[in-house]
Amino acid sequence: MLLALICWAAIFLLKNPYPGRYSNPEKKAVYIRYHDGKYTLFRFGKPFFVNGAAGTTHLAELKLAGGNTIRTWDTLGLDKILADAEKNNIAVVAGLPMPYNEDMDAFYNNDAKVQAQFERYRKLIIKYRGRRGILCWCLGNELSYPLKPKFFKFYKVFNRLVDMIHREDPDHPVTTTLVNFQEKYIVNIKLWTRIDFISFNIFGAIRTISADLQKFHRLWSGPYMITEWGIEGPWEGTNQTAWSAFIEPTSDKKAEQYRELYERYMPVKDPGFLGSMAFYWGYKQETTPTWFSLFDKAGNKSASVNVMQYLWTGRWPAQQAPGVKYMLVDKKGAADNLLYNPDSIINAQVFLKDTTSKANLRFDWFVQPEDWFKLKHFYNLKEKQSLDELTVSENKDHFSFHAPKREGPYRVYVYIYNNKGYFATCNTPFYVVGAK
């Protein structure tokens, strides 16, 4: 009998972790209200559905595209970010990083480090709590939330910070992020932490989130936000070459995937859904300089930016990016496992959707080395130097170059620009063998 009561109490707490918190919220700057079976985020007294992006730059473009929120991972440069956000009426999910908690001794069992972080974050919260741009605080990114004795100290440290934020800044809720929809972590977060809502970083797995939510509905149906979503990452079973180089879709294919993922799989009708943030609103080197970047270094826009505007507003921009179909290298594709001897001549060609526009486009070709495959896809996080000395000839959609002299993996890229501030990209990995 006692065990049954405990189980029912746990289920009640999971579904209603803080009875009354959402049904009659105080009139705070930002709060979540539960009414008629639905959770709604309010900002300055009005319902606020998050149409946002993960990133800290190009906020004027975000506003123009219909976006209203950005997400940071830390507080570096937060003064400038908030000033830009407030200028463009953009809300900010401000990240408070926490050391990864699998190795407890590295941080959480060190009382001096824990206390120093606590004092530092308390000063940050006090400094920024009155800023109009703050939407909420995100404590930790993609941490583990298991129910293991060694993690009890982590939960104590984590909740002490949550309580401090609630005390010092009652105007803004607190969240944390999970990688995908992890049921056991959701249970532990709701039972053992005091955050206000859960956030998910989810890419290819967004295809199953509605089914996951429905299956888990009897146990948990609280408010949540998607703080990162986007095209499939290279860690998600993407096609690879024989040497484990990931084959990247063209910018056109990625734009199509953003639209498909949102229109078909985003849980917009789920009563707990508070909104989402597309990844990545800016320029980011991860695997390649083009995989996740919706902008280039100079601020030119990809086709995916236009897709986001359409998804947020229902309207397409007047200007479009160049259309690219694919690249061939010596008449072969990336899946053909392109192998070359050092110093041999390689010929690449990019194929456009509209060949009549070629004369009005600019083509920027380059070759970069790549890191070898590394565990958990932590490679090529720092952009490599382009090997411009390899170029033999470059003529619009054609590029000829020498194979590098050093054995290893490489990739040939092309950026295609129009005169309207847009670009398209594609690339092909290859491997140099037989070097002396």
pLDDT in tens, 382-393: 888 999 999 999
Q: Give the pLDDT band of residue 237 (cuts 50, 70, 90).
A: low
Residue for token pair 């993609």: 142
Distance (Å, whole) CA 201 – CA 257:
17
pLDDT at 25: 64
The upper half-sphere exposure of residue 49, i.e. CA atoms within 13 Å in the direction of its Cβ, equals 12
Query: Angle at which helices 303-313 and 251-265 pack, to 10 degrees?
Result: 20
Q: What is the mean pLDDT of residues 167-181?
A: 97
Q: What is the mean pLDDT of residues 10-16?
A: 51
Worst-scoring range by mean pLDDT, 143-152, 368-377, 418-427? 368-377
The upper half-sphere exposure of residue 329, i.e. CA atoms within 13 Å in the direction of its Cβ, equals 28
Which helix or strand (DSSP H or E) is residue 141 part of? Answer: strand 134-141
Please list, in sequence order, all residues whose beta carbon lies within 8 angstroms of the beta carbon of residue 356, skipping any fewer than 6 positions away. Answer: none
User: Which structure tokens are listed for 405?
Assistant: 């002299």
Distance (Å, whole) CA 252 – CA 150:
47
Please list, in sequence order, all residues whose beta carbon lies within 8 angstroms of the beta carbon of residue 362, skipping any fewer than 6 positions away. Answer: 416, 417, 418
pLDDT at 104: 87
Q: Give the pLDDT band of residue 235 (cuts 50, 70, 90).
A: confident
Worst-scoring range by mean pLDDT, 13-17, 129-133, 336-340, 422-426? 13-17
Look at domain 324-432 and name its CATH class: mainly beta
Q: Give the pLDDT band of residue 22 (cuts 50, 70, 90).
A: low
Q: Is the pLDDT of residue 163 over 60?
A: yes
Q: What CATH number labels 2-313?
A: 3.20.20.80
Q: Give the pLDDT band of residue 378 (cuts 50, 70, 90).
A: low
pLDDT at 257: 97
Q: What percent of the chain has pLDDT over 90?
A: 83
Q: What is the mean pLDDT of residues 414-421?
A: 97
Q: Give the pLDDT band of residue 234 (cuts 50, 70, 90).
A: confident
Task: Tell me the residue ranges of DSSP E strands in 202-311.
Answer: 224-229, 273-279
pLDDT at 381: 78
Distance (Å, whole) CA 70 – CA 279:
10
pLDDT at 236: 73
Q: What is the mean pLDDT of residues 150-170?
A: 96
Q: Hey, which residues does 367 pair with through a beta bridge?
A: 412
Distance (Å, whole) CA 122 – CA 145:
23
Query: Angle at which helices 2-15 and 183-192 pack, to 10 degrees?
Result: 100
Distances (CA, A) of 63 to 52, 70, 301: 10, 10, 14
Distance (Å, whole) CA 238 – CA 291:
12
423-432 and 174-179 strand pairing: unpaired
Q: Is the pLDDT of residue 376 over 70?
A: no
Please list, in sequence order, all residues whose beta carbon lies within 8 angstroms of the beta carbon of residue 430, skipping any fewer than 6 positions away. Answer: 329, 338, 339, 340, 346, 403, 409, 410, 411, 412
Residue 372: strand, helix, or coil: coil
Q: Give the pLDDT band of residue 1 (cuts 50, 70, 90).
A: very low
Q: What is the mean pLDDT of residues 320-348?
A: 97
User: Which structure tokens are listed for 5?
Assistant: 């009561």
Pick the more confident residue, 376 or 98: 98
Q: Give the pLDDT band of residue 357 (cuts 50, 70, 90).
A: confident
Q: Where are the domains of the chain?
A: 2-313, 324-432
Please list, in sequence order, all residues whose beta carbon lies within 8 angstroms of the beta carbon of residue 358, skipping any fewer than 6 positions away. Answer: 352, 396, 397
Distance (Å, whole) CA 273 – CA 278:
15
208 close to 3: Cβ distance less than 8 angstroms: no
The whole-chain average pLDDT of the chain stands at: 92
pLDDT in tens, 63-95: 999 999 999 999 999 999 999 999 999 999 999
